[in-house]
Amino acid sequence: MQAVQYREHGGRDVIEYGEHPEPDPDRNEVLVDIKAGSLNHVDIWTRKGMPIIDLAFPHVPGCDGAGVVREVGEDVTRFEPGDHVAVSAGISCGDCEFCRDGEPTMCVDYHLLGEHVPGVHSERAAVPEQGLVPVPDHVDWATAAAAPLVFQTAWRMLLGRGDLQPTESVLVLGASGGVGHAAVQIADYVGAEVYATASTDEKLAYAEEVGADHVINYEAENFASAIREQTGKRGVDMVVDHIGAATWHDSIKSLANGGRVVTCGATTGGRPKTDLDRIFWNQLSVIGSSMGDPGEVDDVLELVWSGDLEPRIRAELPMSETARAHEMIENREGFGKVVTRPDSEL
Ligand SMILES: [Zn+2]
């Protein structure tokens, strides 16, 4: 079968699309004919290589995907051939202290399909039953492949971890990215006052279209100053930051007293300077969040399947053009998610 793969870490030129051995599903796995995948920032990190992750090469990337069940292992109970499914990439052990406590995303062995182990950007993929969610037949493949990772991440940030209330205000940084555009929609759905930043007026118009009440062009002005101005010096109750080093200081500065900043990633680097004096004096909270638990995934995807929340597709490319998909994400081109399809599906 054909698969996206790379044999070493490196630049975009290490990405190939070509022949790869057929997956051989275990008894707890489902063999899925992949109809579409989508890219996430984690795909960039994984391709470049991270010291804590030791991959087997050739590595097939891809955390997000959707398709049709082809066959199921003997221990699989929730799916049968012909079912439409989407991948929800977080896999937990089910048995550690945190899993038993109902917090699988805090599992000591938590890992992502496509990041720590083979992913799904291929014509077929063997996926643990735990890593699949059912998709109603009316949902198109691009939507099913684009939604799971970013919408569960944003849902848990805002609600499961952040406990955002309808009476509160929230600033979403980088509203044009996958997590950003999901967070804007969820915050708007909750009924909160939504502030959003982006780098161009076109992206800001998109942010308003999906639910932002106030927008700030961070290339044209300092967003923390803009927030102070727009909130009568008060600041916002919550900041959603997936940018990291480049924004952290101003995220802290944008918070109202007692506010919280929720982080799920650090695309510009994970070692920012921070201001402890502001954190203790203003009684701020710094909250980490990662992926979503199965209940959160069910809740948010139900709203995607019903159309209340909607992943925006910035481009659809054949999987053979995955390097171009990485380039679009690295260059912050466009708005929303990049979807790829096996070339044989086009
Ligand atoms: Zn566990």
Q: What pLDDT shows up at residue 249?
A: 96
Structure tokens at 184: 């804007």
Q: What pLDDT shows up at residue 238?
A: 98
Please check whether residue 309 is in contact with residue 150, taking contact to mean a CB–CB distance below 8 angstroms.
no
Distance CA 286, CA 89 (A): 25
Cβ of 82: how many Cβ atoms within 10 Å? 9
Instruction: Tell me the CA–centroid distance for residue 294 and ligand 1, in Å.
Output: 13
Q: What pLDDT shows up at residue 52?
A: 80
Instruction: Tell me the CA–centroid distance for residue 293 and ligand 1, in Å.
Output: 12
Q: Which structural domains are found in the chain, ordered by start? A: 2-147+311-345 (3.90.180.10), 151-288 (3.90.180.10)
Q: Is the pLDDT of residue 131 over 90?
A: yes
Per-residue pLDDT tens over the stretch 146-164: 999 999 999 999 999 999 9
Instruction: Tell me the CA–centroid distance for residue 109 and ligand 1, in Å.
Output: 6
Confidence of residue 311 (pLDDT cuts 50, 70, 90): very high
Distance CA 185, CA 166 (A): 13
Structure tokens at 114: 């496509």
What would the mean pLDDT of 279-302 be, rounded to a whole number?
Answer: 98
Distance CA 225, CA 235 (A): 10
Instruction: Tell me the CA–centroid distance for residue 89 and ligand 1, in Å.
Output: 15
Q: 180-205 in b/e burial notation, b at 16+ Cβ within 10 A?
A: bbbbbbbbbbeebbbbbbbeeeebbe
Q: What pLDDT shows up at residue 267?
A: 87
Confidence of residue 174 (pLDDT cuts 50, 70, 90): very high
Is the whole-model pTM more than 0.95? yes
Between β-strands 84-87 and 132-134, what pairing exists: parallel, antiparallel or unpaired?
A: antiparallel
Per-residue pLDDT tens over the stretch 175-218: 999 999 999 999 999 999 999 999 999 999 999 999 999 999 99
Torsion region of 102: left, alpha or beta (phi above 0 gives left; psi -120 to 50 gives alpha)? left
Torsion region of 168: left, alpha or beta (phi above 0 gives left; psi -120 to 50 gives alpha)? beta
Closest C-alpha to 117, from 128, 106, 107, 108: 128
Instruction: Tell me the CA–centroid distance for residue 129 and ligand 1, in Å.
Output: 16
Instruction: Tell me the CA–centroid distance for residue 107 and ligand 1, in Å.
Output: 4
Question: Degrees (nearest 5) of the Cα angle 328, 22, 129?
Answer: 80
Where does residue 271 rank: exposed (0-12), middle (13-18), buried (19+ CB within 10 A)? exposed
Average pLDDT value over all residues in the chain: 97
Q: Is the pLDDT of residue 50 over 90?
A: no
Closest C-alpha to 286, from 295, 301, 276, 297: 276
